[in-house]
A and B are shown apart, each in its own frame.
Chain A
Amino acid sequence: DVVMTQSPLSLPVTLGQPASISCRSSQSLVYSDGNTYLNWIQQRPGQSPRRLIYRVSNRDSGVPDRFTGSGSGTDFTLKISRVEAEDVGVYYCMQASHWPPNFGGGTKVEI
Chain B
Amino acid sequence: EVQLVESGGQLVQPGGSLRLSCAASGFTFSTYWMSWVRQAPGKGLEWVANIQQDGSKEHYVDSMKGRFTISRDNAKNSLFLQMNSLRAEDTAVYYCLAYSDAWTSEYWGQGTLVTVSS
Contacts and interface: CB of A to CB of B under 8 A. Distances in A.
Contacts of B45: 41, 49, 92, 94, 103, 106
Interface string A27-60: 0000001010101010000001111001100001
Given A48-B95, A48-B109, A48-B110, A105 B103 contact: no
Nearest to B106: A51
A54 B95 CA distance: 19
A51 B105 CA distance: 9
A54 B47 contact: no
B75 interface: no
Interface residues of B, number: 18
A99 B65 CA distance: 14
A90 B42 CA distance: 11
B61 A100 contact: yes
Contacts of A105: 44
Contacts of B46: 102-103
Nearest to A39: B103
A62 to B, nearest CB: 12
A33 B103 CA distance: 13
Nearest to A105: B44
A11 interface: no
B104 interface: yes
Residue of A33, A60, A96, A105 contacting most chain B CB atoms (<10 Å)? A96
> Which 8 pairs from chain A and chain B are nearest by CB?
A103-B45, A51-B106, A101-B47, A106-B44, A100-B61, A100-B47, A48-B110, A48-B108
Given A49-B45, A105-B44, A99 B59 contact: yes
Nearest to B95: A48
A102 B50 CA distance: 12
A103 B59 contact: no
